[in-house]
Structure 1
Amino acid sequence: MNSNVNRIELSGIRKFSNKVAKVPGAISLTLGQPDFPVPKRVKEAMIEALEQGKTVYTSNAGLVELREEISKYLESFGISYDKEEICITVGGSEALFTVFTTLIDRGEKVLIPTPAYPAYENGVKLVGGEVVNYKLNEDFSLNISYLEEAILKSGAKYLLLSFPTNPTGAILEKTQLNALKDLILRYDLMVITDEIYSALCYDEYHSIAQLQELKDRVIFIGGFSKIFSMTGLRLGYFCVNKKLMDDFMKVHQYNVSCATSISQYGAYVGLRECLRDVEYMKSEFLRRRDYVYGRLKAMNFEVNLPKGAFYIFPSIKKFNMTSEEFCELLLEKKKVACVPGSAFGAGGEGFMRISYCYSDKELERALDLIEEFIKEI
């Protein structure tokens, strides 16, 4: 077995999601799967592509027209990449793995926040890199001092950012941009910024990729799983300065050849015609966020108000259990599945992740049961 495989573990998110099937009647708040249907025009475009025989290979980088639409879409956020600087991938996951494989040599160090989406740490380990965690503020926002401390101690040259953040819903604040830029330049960092939730930002959106002077140092990752509720259709992308693209293309080309053709046609129409659907979905998530946050506060949970994505990350430290013990007992006693914070790294211990991309009825019932549970314990 490849020794790097022995360094990683199966996803803690999936571990708890899979438990639900073994508990009849359980409510799952585990996965980041929007409960909205794929927009009608996206579905129609994929069906049309299938019926018209558009099931052959696209170019390795993906459909030109889709890359042009992504370029226009990103420009609306103040992010500038042309079609030659965009590569369509098999979900954001393949984008991440392609970037890690292209950049990171064995033993090289990568700065990763904690808590964070587990694919970051495990993806880096899988390609032979070394993870250097940096701490966040108590509200899970970026702390420049903690980050600089980690850089000085480790000498790492790669930095991973992710805003809005899974599992906490934190965002990058405008006041942090200049200090972050100065840090990147001072320590000659290459930045990987995963912004799969960029369309689901409830406050003003800011990204390090908006700073044109850093373009040579930033690799931007996005995708369509969340924006068009098409997680199973596996479509993402990464953006990189065109002078670097050939090296990234080598990995992507030999790994998957190209992303699924009919999914690409669907996303193309989605960007052109379905952004109102996205705004409606975002407004519903915002309403659900406020409901879940209010219920948790009423139960006296210590919890921060998420500013993006569709997750909330309450503290469970006062219950004197590990996050895994708490979530196991909650599932056993009340048939409600949440994800233990430990699934998101050392910084996640003492918390649990609740995904609020579920129906109002499921959320209300689950929170009623969580309230019963904490009263009993």
Structure 2
Amino acid sequence: MNGIISKNVNSIEISGIRKFYNKVQNYPEALSLTLGQPDFKVPSKIKEAIVDAIEKNRTEYTANAGIEVLREEISLYLKNSFKIKFDEEEICLTVGGSEGLFSVFGTLIESGDKVLIPTPAYPAYESCVRILGGKVINYELKEDFSINYEKLEELIIKEKPKAIVVSYPSNPTGAILTKEDRDALYNILKDKEIVIISDEIYSSLSFEKEYYSIAQFEDIREKVILVSGFSKMFSMTGLRLGYICAAERLMNGIIKVHQYNVSCAPSIVQWGALEGLRNCIPEVEYMKSEFIKRRDFVYKGLVDLGLDVNMPKGAFYIFPSIKKFNLESEVFCERALKEGKIAMVPGNAFGSGGEGYLRISYSYSMETLQEALIRLEKFIKKI
């Protein structure tokens, strides 16, 4: 049957990240630095809390928004750790940050609505918007992957978008939002009729002393939606628990999409996350300190190889330039996989702004990273 799949779905592809990860399966001897998945174990107290929830038969539906005590704890965590204020009634637990994003886009977007999305950026933003019939308008980032504010303001005036996606700490670049950048973004957006979607899934892995977010401004909170979660924070990617924060006028719509999509987030995982917020923050801090060591090691290794690269200040990705090799990012990564037995994600998987770069995830052990840099050096000498 021709046309059985919607044109919107046909207009997108499987994520370039997963596409390249899947290729690695054909090269069992290859080292993969493709996935954004911490190699740390879920903290034992979280596992015990999940088992305890099963034994206590806490396996029924929760409220659509999630268990109230967890939403209260998230509210406290955001306020105390990041100076971000949302009450428990303004928080909804989701099936990972991914469902959170889709529920937000599904609430906002009608056919033809324009959404500003950075490039390079996590590919799900563009795909979700296209599935829903929206129009993607990319905004440029500078060479250090901060926002080009002059061009952004010009785009907003010209295109009149319904929403803008802001993503810091960034996948794939590891960039963060500085105080100056946050304030500049606020000054551009505060008087505009535009919804701000701030993806802060890597907030717990920001390496600087102070954390800055567009969600910290009280006077624009009515048009800010924060999406975050526990996958990276507690190394529980497969347990699928995220959350959305939004003022009541926005949450009233979001909860409808969330309800008809999934009803509620997994009950037992919610109890695990509650234990995590109460008693496992030291483990998060330890994980962050280890990522900083790995970041420093990989950054020095890439610089020693002569690559142009910015020092990441959050998440666990580094995004070196490969423009000097005059190879498209996909060609470079294909050859690195076949000839060098090292798998990395081509920059074009993150949009047009990622061409000429590649993403390396340093969420792997130091031993893996050491061997990977040796293989990368040998491959670069070949070409």
- TM-score range with shorter-chain normalisation? over 0.9
Q: Distance in 1 between matches of 2:182 and 2:340?
A: 43
Is 1:152 aligned to residue 165 of structure 2?
Answer: no
Q: Which residue of 2 aligns with 1:222?
A: 228
Q: Which residue of 1 aligns with 2:314?
A: 308
Q: Which residue of 1 aligns with 2:140?
A: 135
Of 336, 355, 367, which residue of structure 2 is paired with 1:361?
367
Q: Which residue of 2 aligns with 1:49?
A: 53
Q: Distance in 1 between matches of 2:372 and 2:154?
A: 40
User: Do 2:146 and 2:181's aligned partners in 1 also have CA atoms closer than 8 Å?
Assistant: no
Alignment of 1:12-161 (within 5 A): 12-76=16-80, 77-161=82-166
User: Do 1:142 and 1:172's aligned partners in 2 also have CA atoms closer than 8 Å?
Assistant: no
Q: Which residue of 1 aligns with 2:213?
A: 207
Of 331, 340, 344, which residue of structure 2 is paired with 1:338?
344
**Structure 2 alignment gaps of length 5 or more:** none
Residue type of the partner of 1:19? K
User: Do 1:172 and 1:207's aligned partners in 2 also have CA atoms closer than 8 Å?
Assistant: yes
Q: Distance in 2 between matches of 1:256 and 1:193?
A: 22
Greater shift, 63-72 or 140-149, is seen at 140-149
User: Do 2:321 and 2:358's aligned partners in 1 also have CA atoms closer than 8 Å?
Assistant: yes
1:78-122 Cα deviation digits (max 9, x unpaired): 000011000000000000000000011110000000000000000
Alignment of 1:283-322 (within 5 A): 283-322=289-328
Residue 177 of structure 1 and its aligned partner are, at CA, apart by 2.5
User: Do 1:157 and 1:187's aligned partners in 2 also have CA atoms closer than 8 Å?
Assistant: no
Is 1:236 aligned to residue 242 of structure 2?
Answer: yes
Greater shift, 303-312 or 184-193, is seen at 184-193
Of 248, 263, 268, which residue of structure 2 is paired with 1:257?
263
Q: Distance in 2 between matches of 1:253 and 1:155?
A: 30
**TM-score where L is the length of structure 2:** 0.97
Q: Distance in 2 between matches of 1:134 and 1:45?
A: 43
Q: Distance in 2 between matches of 1:111 and 1:46?
A: 39
User: Do 1:133 and 1:150's aligned partners in 2 also have CA atoms closer than 8 Å?
Assistant: no
Residue type of the partner of 1:51? E
Residue 180 of structure 1 and its aligned partner are, at CA, apart by 1.3
Of 166, 175, 181, which residue of structure 2 is paired with 1:170?
175
Q: Which residue of 2 aligns with 1:246?
A: 252
Q: Distance in 1 between matches of 2:116 and 2:263?
A: 30
Residue type of the partner of 2:7? S
**TM-score where L is the length of structure 1:** 0.99
Q: Distance in 2 between matches of 1:209 and 1:123?
A: 22
Residue 243 of structure 1 and its aligned partner are, at CA, apart by 3.1
Residue type of the partner of 1:91? G
User: Do 2:140 and 2:353's aligned partners in 1 also have CA atoms closer than 8 Å?
Assistant: yes
Residue 222 of structure 1 and its aligned partner are, at CA, apart by 0.6
Q: Which residue of 2 aligns with 1:184?
A: 189
1:37-89 Cα deviation digits (max 9, x unpaired): 00010000001111111111011000111101100000011000011000000
Is 1:351 aligned to residue 347 of structure 2?
Answer: no
**Structure 1 alignment gaps of length 5 or more:** none
Structure 1's consecutive aligned runs of 4 or more residues displaced over 4 angstroms after TM superposition are none
Q: Distance in 2 between matches of 1:42 and 1:25?
A: 34
Residue 10 of structure 1 and its aligned partner are, at CA, apart by 0.6
User: Do 2:119 and 2:351's aligned partners in 1 also have CA atoms closer than 8 Å?
Assistant: yes
Q: Distance in 1 between matches of 2:159 and 2:280?
A: 45
Of 202, 213, 219, which residue of structure 2 is paired with 1:197?
202
Q: Distance in 2 between matches of 1:351 and 1:278?
A: 29
User: Do 2:96 and 2:240's aligned partners in 1 also have CA atoms closer than 8 Å?
Assistant: yes
Q: Distance in 1 between matches of 2:38 and 2:102?
A: 23
- Name the SS for the 2:315 alignment partner: coil
1:265-303 Cα deviation digits (max 9, x unpaired): 100000000000000000000010000000000000000
User: Do 1:297 and 1:303's aligned partners in 2 also have CA atoms closer than 8 Å?
Assistant: yes
Residue 25 of structure 1 and its aligned partner are, at CA, apart by 1.4
- Name the SS for the 1:131 alignment partner: strand
Residue type of the partner of 1:6? N
User: Do 1:136 and 1:146's aligned partners in 2 also have CA atoms closer than 8 Å?
Assistant: no
Q: Distance in 1 between matches of 2:93 and 2:10?
A: 30
- Name the SS for the 1:307 alignment partner: coil
- Name the SS for the 2:225 alignment partner: strand
Q: Distance in 1 between matches of 2:9 and 2:220?
A: 34
Q: Distance in 1 between matches of 2:182 and 2:240?
A: 31
- Name the SS for the 2:203 alignment partner: coil
1:338-361 Cα deviation digits (max 9, x unpaired): 000000000000000000000011
Greater shift, 134-143 or 184-193, is seen at 184-193
Q: Distance in 1 between matches of 2:350 and 2:249?
A: 34
Q: Distance in 2 between matches of 1:200 and 1:177?
A: 18
